[in-house]
């Protein structure tokens, strides 16, 4: 049974930083591209960042230069370092595993991910 468990969310002032973690189990983690998505109240879930098996990354334009996705395959964990946070970054953040093991590319399409965590809340005060 695949499980993805996010942690690290919380309340932070604008301009502050948070580091999200997502621990995976039940799958051969290193074989899967991984992604982070977020969903704010009343909005659709949107792509934030993704990382390939080999460490190639892709970001939502509005977070480029502020967020960094990384992975530690020995620890079966993917991270999202978030710096210079803005109120508009507030959302529930979800990690997800691509439905295609061994895929080389990474993608932003939510339909490409079929394993999801429960989410972690990020609140940014202005």
CB 33 within 8 A of CB 99: no
Give 69-108 as a DSSP string. Answer: EEEETTTTEEEEEE-S--GGG-EEEEEEEESSTT--S---
pLDDT in tens, 59-101: 999 999 999 999 999 999 999 999 999 999 999 999 999 999 9
Confidence of residue 1 (pLDDT cuts 50, 70, 90): very high
Tokens of 69: 């996705």
Helix, strand, coil percentages (3-state) for the chain, rounded to 5, are 10, 50, 40
CB 22 within 8 A of CB 79: yes
């Amino acid at each position: 049974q695949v499980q993805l468990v996010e942690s690290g969310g919380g309340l932070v002032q604008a301009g502050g930083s948070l580091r999200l973690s997502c621990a995976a189990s039940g799958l051969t983690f290193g074989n899967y591209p991984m992604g982070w998505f977020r969903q704010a109240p009343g909005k659709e879930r949107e792509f934030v960042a993704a990382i390939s098996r080999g460490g190639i990354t892709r970001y939502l334009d509005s977070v480029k230069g502020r967020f960094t996705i990384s992975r530690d395959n020995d620890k079966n964990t993917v991270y999202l370092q978030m710096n210079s946070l803005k109120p508009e970054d507030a959302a529930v953040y979800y990690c997800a595993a691509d439905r295609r093991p061994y895929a080389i590319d990474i993608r932003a399409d939510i339909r490409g991910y079929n394993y999801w965590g429960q989410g972690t809340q990020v609140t940014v005060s202005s």
